[in-house]
Every structure is written in structure tokens, then in C-alpha cells.
Amino acid sequence: MVQRAQRVKKVSTGPARRDTESRAAGRPRNKPFGNVTRGTTNPNRLRRVDRWLAGPEAWRLATEAAPLVVDLGYGGSPATAVELYQRIHAVCPAAHVTGIEIEPARVQGAKALEHAGLDFRVGGFEIPVPGQATMVRAFNVLRQYDEADVRLIWAIVCSRLSPHGLFVDGTCDEIGRRSTWVALDPGGPQSLTISLRFGAFERPSDVAERLPKALIHHNVPGEKIHAFLQALDQQWLASAPLASFGNRQRWLLMCHRMFDAGWPITRAPSRWRLGELTVAWAAVDPG
């Protein structure tokens, strides 16, 4: 069942706008900012983005004496927050992970899993934690909201980041084989990452149905994200001669071709080998 996109409550004009500005400035409010969502999840669903956070982005954890990592909107099961703790703790034992959910019953159900380095609390996009967050991961959360609210949500969450902090707004399929995410720092969106399991797609553009909310409705001719996905497909088809050596080799050639064609993708063969590709936000920004 597909849930209809929701508007964030009280974010339009007048008093509501002033309330939003108060949240962005870090002033307290009475209720969590956001709406209760379906909360569906599966264990190991977010392994691809976790692998990225604990890999090329792990340097951010080293900028803080006691980095705080937030799993925002972990859903009906705290499994993804527990997994995030395990993966982050493996590279930064000093990190603390907080799972945040807007539904009190979900938080209460997760309390039994708390231990040193992991806790759960009620909240929303205002990120109700002391200090600032080093990393905030929100997966399959914003896709349940209206696109008109995405930029506002981004701004509020980014205002809660430390100077080298990172906010990840992403989407994936039910078992985590097709994932995409936007990476934002305190200055706003910086990149889009596509991460696919080899064998889980025929063409790279198959990931289109899992694009983040800010992009999914812009995958039409004339838009940047459409041009990017079409370019991926073209280079994937052009790399077909390597298919007999496996999809990994074909993907690697596709990435090299994209880079050589002038697309602002991160030159990272070790990440490409995982079925991952990161492009500068400017190349896909719908404006």
C-alpha cells in the first residue's frame, strides 16, 4: 500500500511560520515537528547508506570528541537504529547514537534496547538532543511528506548540525537493494548518491522510483535528474561489452565513462565497485 504524501503540520504562513522560524533557531516547542508515518522497516535495509557513513564520511566523526549520530524516524522497529550503532561504533567507539521517533509508543517499545552509547527519545525534525548532531540519517521518512515541505525540513534539520555535520535524506526499497540519498551539510544539499545491488536492476534508471522526495517528481524530460539518469543508461548500454565479465566490471566502466564525459561525479573506484555513484547536487538540482 502506498501512503498519500502529507503536508507538515503548521508550516505555511502567519503564526505557523513564526513557529517554524523558532524551531530553526533552536528555541523549544511543545510538540515534535512532523507527522506520524507508516513506520515500516526491515532489518539490514539501510546497510548501503550505513556503509557509506562509516566509510568515506567517517572523518566527520573524528571532528568531535563525543560525536552524536541520529537515526531520525526509525519507524515501527528500532532495528535500524541498533544496526546504525553497531556500524558507527565499529569505526568510532566514542560515538553516541540516538533513535528519534515522533510516535511515543514506538519509543517506549525501544527503551529495553538502550545501553551505553544508544538511547531512544520522542521527537521530530527539530532533533531534540542536547548540543548539535554530527550525523543525522532520515531514510524513507521525507518521501511520506509533500515535496513543498522538503526544503523547509532540510533547513530545520541542517540548523541542528555541528560545523562538519551531515544530514542524509534517503530512500530505498523494502530490502535495501536500491537506494538513493541526498547528503546535506550546514550549507545545504551537496550531493546525490545512487547505490544499487548488482543483479537488482536492468538499467541504472530503474532506481528512479526510489529517488528522494526532492527529485522523484522531476524525473521528466527537461529536468536535470532525468538527463543524469538517461546519461547513466546510455553509458551502461555502451559498456555492454564488459557484461561477460560481470556487472561490477560493466558498472566500473560506466562510472569511468560518466567521469570522462564531464559529469561531476566523485572519482572513487572503491565505492564504484560496491554499485555506488555520487554526483554533485548542482548536476541534479531541480532548482
Q: What integer pLDDT is reported at residue 9 of this predicted model?
A: 56
Same domain, 123 and 162: yes
pLDDT in tens, 7-61: 565 433 233 333 444 444 444 456 898 888 777 788 899 999 999 999 999 999 9
**3-state SS, residue 166:** strand
Same domain, 79 and 191: yes
Same domain, 45 and 140: yes
Confidence check: pLDDT of 135 > 70: yes
Strand partners, 193: 181, 278
Task: List phi, psi (to 5°) of 71.
Answer: -100, 100
If you ran DSSP here, which 8-state letter would residue 145 be given?
B
Same domain, 154 and 118: yes
Average pLDDT value over all residues in the chain = 91
> Between the CA of residue 58 and those of 117, 130, 148, 223, what are the distances in Å?
17, 21, 31, 32
241 lies in a domain?
yes
* Domain range enclosing 187: 15-196
Same domain, 155 and 24: yes
Query: How far is it, in rounded angstroms, from Cα 230 to Cα 282?
Result: 17
Strand partners, 70: 98, 136
The count of structural domains within the chain is 2
Same domain, 137 and 249: no
**Mean pLDDT, to the nearest integer, of 111-125?**
97
Instruction: Give the residue from 167, 196, 225 where a domain finishes.
Output: 196
Same domain, 221 and 168: no
> Between the CA of residue 209 and those of 9, 50, 73, 171, what are the distances in Å?
26, 21, 21, 9
Element housing 90 (H / E):
helix 79-91
Q: What integer pLDDT is reported at residue 7 of this predicted model?
A: 55
94, 116 contact by CB (below 8 A): no
**3-state SS, residue 239:** coil
Same domain, 174 and 77: yes
Q: Which three cell numbers stand for residue 237?
A: 548500454
| Of 4, 29, 2, 26, the residue nearest 15 (C-alpha) | 29
Q: What integer pLDDT is reported at residue 36 of this predicted model?
A: 85
pLDDT in tens, 163-211: 999 999 999 999 999 999 999 999 999 999 999 999 999 999 999 999 9
Same domain, 181 and 224: no
Return the higher-pLDDT residue of 103 and 30. Answer: 103
55 lies in a domain?
yes
Confidence check: pLDDT of 257 > 80: yes
If you ran DSSP here, which 8-state letter would residue 143 be given?
G
State the CATH number of the domain containing residue 119: 3.40.50.150
201 lies in a domain?
no
Instruction: Give the residue from 133, 166, 196 where a domain finishes.
Output: 196
